Structure 1
Amino acid sequence: MSQVLHTPPHSPAPADEDDLAALAARHGLTVSGARPSLPEYVRQLWERRHFITAFATAKLTAQYSQAKLGQVWQVMTPLLNAAVYYFIFGVLLGTKKHVPDYIPFLVTGVFIWTFTQSSIMAGTRAISGNLGLVRALHFPRAALPISFALQQLQQLLFSMAALFVILICFGVPVSISWLLVIPALFLQFTFNAGVSMVMARMGAKTPDIAQLMPFILRTWMYLSGVMWSISKLTKGDNLPHPVTIALETNPAAVYIDLMRYALIDSFHSSQLPPHVWAAATGWALLAGVGGFIYFWKAEETYGRG
């Protein structure tokens, strides 16, 4: 009597990952949320430029929609800050005695610093504060921190009308040098957007960093010559040379000094740090390009987890 051997059926061997990848490619399938190449990412971002501007404008309009004074707070907030700083630093500490046109000097510094501060704070929460949008729609995530930086630029431009009135009221004449505001703001916006993208990536991974940023930004403000003159402090040999270099090349101080030089006739070129336009351009390129690449490298991770 012959014996029949019954062998259990073999389960199919798992498909090799390379075979699956080839199969997916053959049928035009791609990884969901995969990071595109850098040129493709830039192209996608440019295609959504209208979304970026519309999103920034909508956020700006909604920012004070619940307040009775509405958009007036765009001007009132930095002016109230300037009033407090004037009382503490100008009157109590006597800083105004050593700085010509101290009120225009102070108000310009406060307005320009607020632009950088608000851009970075908004950028820190750009991803972590908009997870619903990030998870629901497919778009280049860099659109969010850039749109928040653009929102703060729009707010600054709205407030600049009040700044010009203040300058004229305190005897600062209108000058051709005011046109330098355009390249100075362009460089500052590029810097702000780049830092915002860096902070957006960090804030997406560690949301608690948003709680730490106000303390870091407040310290940075005190080191940036918003209420006092860096050129007066660094004059002579009172400070170690590395400290002088650090104060003069501080990016926030560089952009503030450029705006003061453009707007205030008593703020002379001798008060600017050496090679100030080169420094402003260098910071803009370093932060803008470096921040964009740093943000792009983590594109696949945003909204996950």
Structure 2
Amino acid sequence: MSQTLTRPAPAAPPDPGPRALAEKYGLTVSGRRPSLPEYVRQLWRRRHFISAFSSAKLTAQYSQAKLGQLWQVATPLLNALVYYLIFGLLLGTHRGVPDYIPFLVTGVFIFTFSQSSVLAGTRAISGNLGLVRALHFPRACLPISFCLMQLKQLMFSMGVLVVILLAFRQVPGWSWLLAIPALCFQFVFNTGLAMIMARLGSKTPDLAQLMPFILRTWMYASGVMYSISVVTAGKDIPDIVQFLLDINPAAVYIDLVRFALIDSFTAAQLPPHVWACAAGWAVVMGLVGFVYFWKAEERYGRG
């Protein structure tokens, strides 16, 4: 009886598994947080979206009002008028402050820049959940866009401020150029702080209701309506309080712009090491805010 010899079938290759296949074809987990350098590259690739989104938001902000974009200038001017009547005339904070109206308007405009950036950052994620859940993009685009929108709005206000300065016989000089680095430092600081508030606000929407009270307290401590150096002169103020007043970032940026634009605001009224303090706040808050926001990238819009 003959037997037929059969060759055994070749063994099937081992299953590489989903992880190996994903690595082979460059696949990643959906929604996973990218590395920090890759996140920066993604943001840079979407720089045109950030600019266009900020411009669109700025245009739409007053689209329902009859005066339209004029409110970008009218709102801080009206605030300055109210502060002048209450603080300058009734409470007498104008005493000892030459050129009080340029002094006040500068303080209001510069503080409003930080105030509006923080408020917009607090709502950047929680107020745009539809966009966050519908599209895939670096979420940091949103707080950066809102801060850029506030910077563009500040440019309108600065144009009005220049007119006010000229009306009060402030002569343009080379010192006016110092306002540019001061505002650049402030923009970086605002963006970092807005990113921190965006992450906090994404999980605690009620924070947006609390922020106006916190920001109002910050404004009263920042010398917007009065001169800190005049108020504290000759008074026995604890060293820690004086130190906090000197390093208050809002006061630092306000004082730098006043020093740049107002002739009567001299270097003697600036806190010590003011430029180092301005740069330090910008670098520290910018880096800390960016990293803090990035660490929760995969959680935004969920839950």
TM-score after normalising by structure 2: 0.93
Give the aligned residue type for 2:296. Answer: A
Partner of 1:25: 23
Aligned counterpart for 1:57 among listed residues 55, 68, 83:
55
**Secondary structure of 1:51's partner?**
helix
Please give the per-residue CA displacement for 1:167-194, whole angstroms capped at 9, x wherever unaligned.
Answer: 1111211111100111011000000000
1:294 aligned to 2:292?
yes
Give 1:204's aligned residue.
202
**What is the aligned partner in structure 1 of residue 123 from structure 2?**
125
- What's 1:6 paired with? none
Q: Secondary structure at the match of 1:227?
A: coil
- Residue 237 of structure 2 aligns with which residue? 239
- Partner letter of residue 36 of structure 1? P
Query: How far, CA to CA, are the matches of 2:212 and 2:62 in structure 1?
Result: 21
Task: Tell me, in whole angstroms, the C-alpha distance in 2 between the residues paired with 1:23 and 1:70.
Answer: 56
Equivalent-residue separation in structure 2 for 1:50 and 1:19 (angstroms): 40
Partner of 1:174: 172
2:65 corresponding residue in structure 1: 67
Taking the aligned partners of 2:252 and 2:28, their CA distance within structure 1 comes to: 45
* Aligned counterpart, 2:79: 81
State how many pairs are aligned. Answer: 288
- Please report how far the alpha carbon of residue 256 of structure 1 lies from its aligned counterpart in structure 2 after TM superposition: 0.3
Following the alignment from structure 2 to structure 1, what is the Cα–Cα distance between the partners of residues 28 and 84? 58
Residue 206 of structure 1 aligns with an amino acid whose one-letter code is T
In the TM superposition, what are the counterparts of 1:1-305 in structure 2 within 5 Å?
19-305=17-303
Q: 2:94 aligns to what SS in structure 1?
A: helix
- Partner of 2:95: helix, strand, or coil? helix
User: Cα distance, 1:19 vs. partner?
Assistant: 4.5
Q: CA-to-partner distance for each residue in 1:220-249, whole Å, 9 max, x for gaps?
A: 000000001111123244211110010111
Aligned partner letter, 2:94: K
Amino acid in the other structure paired with 1:93? L
Q: What is the Cα deviation at residue 158 of structure 1?
A: 1.3
Query: For the residues of structure 1 that align with 2:245 and 2:17, how far apart are their CA atoms?
Result: 58
The answer to whether the 8 Å contact 1:230/1:248 transfers is: no
Supply the RMSD in Å over aligned alpha carbons: 1.1
What percent identity do the matched residue pairs reach? 72
Q: TM-score, normalised to structure 1's length?
A: 0.92
Does the 8 Å CA contact 1:111/1:156 hold for their aligned counterparts? yes
Q: Match of 1:91, as an amino acid? A: L
Write out per-residue CA displacement over residues 48-101 of structure 1, whole angstroms, 9 at most, x where no aligned residue: 001001100010011001100001000000000000000011000111122110
**Cα deviation, residue 46, structure 1:** 0.4
Q: Distance in 1 between matches of 2:147 and 2:48?
A: 15
Cα separation, 2, equivalents of 1:44 and 1:248:
38
Distance (Å, rounded) in 1 between the aligned partners of 2:88 and 2:220: 14
Instruction: Tell which deviates more after alignment, 21-30 or 194-203.
Output: 21-30
Provide, for residues 102-132 of structure 1, a one-character-per-residue CA deviation record: whole Å limited to 9, x for no partner.
0000000000000000000000000000011
CA distance in 1, matches of 2:17, 2:103: 67
Kept in 2, the 8 Å contact 1:194–1:292? The answer is: yes
Indicate the SS of the match to 2:118: helix
